[in-house]
Amino acid sequence: MNCFGKKWFGKQSLVFKLSLGVLAGVLLGVVLLLSIVSSRSKMIIEEQILEHSAHSIHAAVSNINHLVLETEQAVRGLRNTLQQLDADDGNSIEIALKSTIKTVYNSGLDLSHAAVYTFSSSNSSSGTLYSSFAQDKSFFFNKEKINDFYGIYPQLKGADNDEKIFWSEPYISPVTPDKRMVISCILPFKFQGENVFSGLVSISIGLQDILQHIEQSPFQDEGNLVLISKTGLYITHPDPEINLKTTIYELASRLNLPKLSQIGKKVLSGQSGQMQLPYSSIYPEPTISFYAPVPHLNWGVCLIFSYKELFKPVYDLQIMIVVSVIAVILLLLLLINKICYYSIRPLLKIAKIATQYGKGDFSEIVSETCSDDEIGTLSTAFHNMRTNLLTYIDKEKAEISEKQKVLSELDIAKKIQLSALSLDFPEQKEFQLNALMIPAKQIGGDFYDFFFLSKNRIAIVIADVSGKGISAALYMMRAKEVIKHTAQHTSSVAKLFEQVNNALCEGNSMCMFVSAFLAIINLKTGVMEYVNAGHLPPFLIANQKCKKITPKPNFILGVKEGTSYKTEKIKLLPNSCVFLYTDGITEAENNERQFYGEERLQNVLRQYSGSPTELINTIISDIKDFSQNSPQSDDITMLAFHYRGQDSESLTIEADVRKLGIVLDFIEQDMMQKEISKDIRTKIIVATEELFSNIALYAYENGGEVHIKTELYKGTYSLKFMDKGKPYNPIEHRDPDIFQPLQERPIGGLGIFIAKKMADSIMYSRENGKNILKIEIKIK
């Protein structure tokens, strides 16, 4: 300041100097305060806009992905059902297809149509096409012969190359009446007993249905969302001249936009992010594009905004701040005295409270003033901001509380469901068992069960209910109780499932169904009777070998009333293990969308040497290592039953020829366990049959018992028969003349003669009132 300025300033009154100083200080404070608020508000708004836009694109992807996963799950379910059928069972294929489309339709999944295409192993281009679609709550079914399948459906070519989900490019559906544009989810399958692919399972979704799911996403009205197929083709675009006609790379070349081509390469390679463009095919002005991949379809989703419209709130904020500053300056110039007196303390207080608000502390309230100046406006704005923020926070808390309530109820439902699955695994000298169920969601549709039918008979069950969530869980609990209750009053395993099937068909308006395997094991004899209703065949582990128990095909439960089922039986060797499981194990996926598969499961089972608990823990650990933290797509359920058995080298049985089958089963299992060759086993079986029949027919007059003991020593297999019947030495019996005419030959003696010929040595003794007959056959 020069000398003249100092003199002039010195001549002014103290009020003027104070007013001028206060004016300068207040101006500086107001400018600084508004600058801080402006910069922080701008940063917050920009972050919220970008975060909201990114959330919108991922929400759109999530909606598509949800539709895709539900479709894939339905395809897998239909595939698993068909793999239990014979290739010529057209009626069952039709029933399975109709059941699937009804189940999918009732579950709320949008679809165009479903189809099953069957073909021979030599020519996949010709076959039979079963197709079905729903329209106005009606279901239509069609069956036709196809001679050039891939000529009619070129988009599906290559779907039968590998056992993986295949998603087609968009095409016009020739099946539905409206000829809509669809994409298809295809999975090859093999019929029961076949080693090569026998057909394709397909469920198609209309592009319009996908767009309806996308419209549920919370993106802003100013944005435009486009879909890009795995080849870069625009599936949806506001310009009809581009939609389904042009790829993103062709459009980038046409518009001379290299960045647009970069977006296509990034999103189709699985990357997500955002990129600014100087212009686009939608906006002639600068734009910002958010992109994200659709993993299962290998598509890309782009959400495109005008940069100016997207950040309009930021520009409006800047204009509002500029206008506010100008208004404050003019007001300060007019009302300097009041500003000096009233503004300093309120502004400092507002600045302090603003800092607390910025840290999330809303305990202090900004008092509303009666003045209409900038201070009053600012205090009112902060007061309203605090009110609005607290209201918003209370609303968020209420929503979180409601979500927690729903989660809590689901958790209670989960505990109720798990409580229905027994975790008290019995362990007796004859057996051990253990089981585990891990639901894909909070509650699942799989279940296992085990229960005693008598002292020496135990039933084991495993089942998989169609669908997921609450409905599947309720149906699961009903099926479990019906099976257990019916088993207590039905002796035949086949009749048991027939009654259960009829009970589950009653009132099944949701068209749900159950695949199940049930076995009843006699703990005394080791005989296991079982029936399989469309479930995965279990594994039998014995003598360090693992093989499938391949039952005759039976239909699933709950679909067709009056269905018949077939019972089968095997005899369990001591120290063998039966392993039951659901497809949640074999269809567990890793990050590369590869299945865990039966082969890997069988390799783990072959190494089984411990307890059922150790086996289940080993399988779960191996699944976790394979999946690499990928989300679980289906319920994982398994049950391991280890049969210890009783004395495998001796048998005491009633001397009755009607018991011959049990004796022969005992000898056959004993020889298999000792790994005796088939030709030697045949000789031993023949000798056993003749000797036991001779004892049963002639040793007793009023009935008695026979004790049979086996032994393998130094390459010789011995059989010892002991009975308390009347004394009889078969060695001293004269051999019959086999060349004598049959009508002249005396009755008897031929069985002993055959046994002598089969054995390498035969010995008889009478000890302590017992006949002891021992035969020996060399096995080497």
| Together in a domain, 196 and 280 | no
Output the CA–CA distances (angstroms, integers) from residue 490 to 450, 482, 520, in the order listed. Answer: 16, 12, 12
Domain end call among 291, 310, 329: 310
Inter-residue contact 308 to 285 (CB < 8 Å): yes
Residue 725 lies in a domain: yes
CATH number for the domain that contains residue 656:
3.30.565.10
Domain end call among 643, 665, 689: 643
Structure confidence by residue, pLDDT tens digits, 583-594: 889 988 988 889
Closest CA to 516 of 572, 445, 587: 445
| Together in a domain, 515 and 618 | yes
| Together in a domain, 738 and 768 | yes
Residue 357 lies in a domain: no
Residue 176 lies in a domain: yes
pLDDT at 390 over 80: no
The DSSP H or E segment spanning 452 is strand 446-454
Mean pLDDT score across all residues of the chain: 80
Residue 4 lies in a domain: no
Domain that holds residue 276: 220-310
pLDDT at 220 over 50: no
Give strand pairing partners of 702: none
Tally of domains in the chain: 4
Inter-residue contact 306 to 315 (CB < 8 Å): no
Q: What is the 3-state secondary structure (H, E, C) of 287-316?
A: EEEEEEEECCCCEEEEEEEEHHHHCHHHHH
- Determine the pLDDT at residue 373: 61
| Together in a domain, 601 and 521 | yes
- Determine the pLDDT at residue 3: 59
| Together in a domain, 688 and 769 | yes
| Together in a domain, 489 and 508 | yes
Residue 486 lies in a domain: yes
Residue 111 lies in a domain: yes
Q: pLDDT category, 744, cuts 50, 70, 90? A: very low
Q: pLDDT category, 748, cuts 50, 70, 90? A: very low
Structure confidence by residue, pLDDT tens digits, 52-91: 777 777 777 887 888 788 888 888 888 888 888 888 888 8
- Determine the pLDDT at residue 158: 78
| Together in a domain, 463 and 558 | yes
| Together in a domain, 543 and 430 | yes
d(CA 652, CA 643): 20
Residue 406 or 209, more confident: 209
Output the CA–CA distances (angstroms, integers) from residue 480 to 421, 504, 618, 762, in the order listed. Answer: 9, 11, 27, 55
Can you read off the two tokens belonging to residue 327? 């208004």
| Together in a domain, 434 and 550 | yes
CATH number for the domain that contains residue 78:
3.30.450.20
- Determine the pLDDT at residue 735: 59
Inter-residue contact 447 to 479 (CB < 8 Å): yes
Q: What is the DSSP string of 644-674?
A: --S-TTEEEEES-GGGHHHHHHHHHHHHHHT
- Determine the pLDDT at residue 539: 94
Q: What is the mean pLDDT of residues 505-527?
A: 87
| Together in a domain, 566 and 684 | no
Range name among 562-566, 648-652, 731-735 with the lowest pLDDT average: 731-735
Residue 15 or 375, more confident: 375
Residue 353 lies in a domain: no
Q: What is the mean pLDDT of residues 501-528?
A: 88
pTM: 0.40
Domain end call among 310, 345, 367: 310
- Determine the pLDDT at residue 746: 46
CATH number for the domain that contains residue 475:
3.60.40.10
| Together in a domain, 585 and 684 | no
| Together in a domain, 598 and 486 | yes
Residue 21 lies in a domain: no
